[in-house]
C-alpha cells in the first residue's frame, strides 16, 4: 500500500521541495503516510489488494523465490597450493620469528 502511495505522491513531493536525494524524499513520504488517517490509507490498501489479485491472475504459478538465485550459487574454485619444500622457507620464518641463528 505504501509503495502505491509513494508512486502517486512522489512527483508532488519533488515539486514542493528542492531536495533531489531519494532518501530524503522517501523520509518525507513516510512521514506523510503516517500522518494519513486510517480511511485515507485504506484506499491504498484496497488498491494493493486489487494489484495483488491482478498479479495472481496474470502469473498464477509465480513465487518470489523464482526471482532469486536460490540454490544456484556458483562454486568457488580453490587455489592450488604449491607444496612447500621441507626445511626451505619455513626455517627462515622460524628463525625470524624466534631470533634463532642456524
Per the model's pLDDT, the better-predicted residue between 36 and 84 turns out to be 36
User: Which range of residues forms the domain containing residue 53?
Assistant: 2-61
Total domains present in the chain? 1
Is 79 domain-assigned?
no
* Global pTM value: 0.56
- Report how far apart the first and last C-alpha atoms of the chain are (Å, whole number): 75
Does residue 73 surpass a pLDDT of 80? no
- The predicted-structure confidence for 15-65, as pLDDT tens digits, reads as follows 888 878 889 999 999 999 999 999 999 999 999 999 999 999 998 888 877
- % of the chain at pLDDT higher than 70: 72
CATH number of residue 39's parent domain:
1.10.30.10
* Separation of alpha carbons 14 and 6, rounded Å: 11
Q: Which helix (H) or strand (E) holds 22?
A: helix 22-35
CA dihedral 60, 57, 8, 5 (to 10 degrees): -60
Is 12 domain-assigned?
yes
Per the model's pLDDT, the better-predicted residue between 37 and 82 turns out to be 37
Is 71 domain-assigned?
no
List Cα–Cα distances, 57 to 1, 46, 53, in angstroms. 19, 17, 6
Amino acid at each position: 500500500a505504501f509503495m502505491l502511495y509513494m508512486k502517486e505522491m512522489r512527483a508532488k513531493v519533488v515539486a514542493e521541495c528542492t531536495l533531489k536525494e531519494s532518501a530524503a524524499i522517501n523520509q518525507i513520504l513516510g512521514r506523510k503516510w503516517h500522518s494519513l488517517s486510517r480511511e485515507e490509507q485504506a484506499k491504498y490498501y484496497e488498491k494493493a489488494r486489487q494489484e495483488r489479485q491482478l498479479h495472481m491472475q496474470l502469473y498464477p504459478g509465480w513465487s518470489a523465490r523464482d526471482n532469486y538465485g536460490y540454490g544456484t550459487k556458483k562454486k568457488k574454485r580453490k587455489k592450488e597450493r604449491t607444496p612447500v619444500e621441507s626445511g626451505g622457507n619455513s626455517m627462515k620464518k622460524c628463525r625470524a620469528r624466534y631470533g634463532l641463528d642456524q
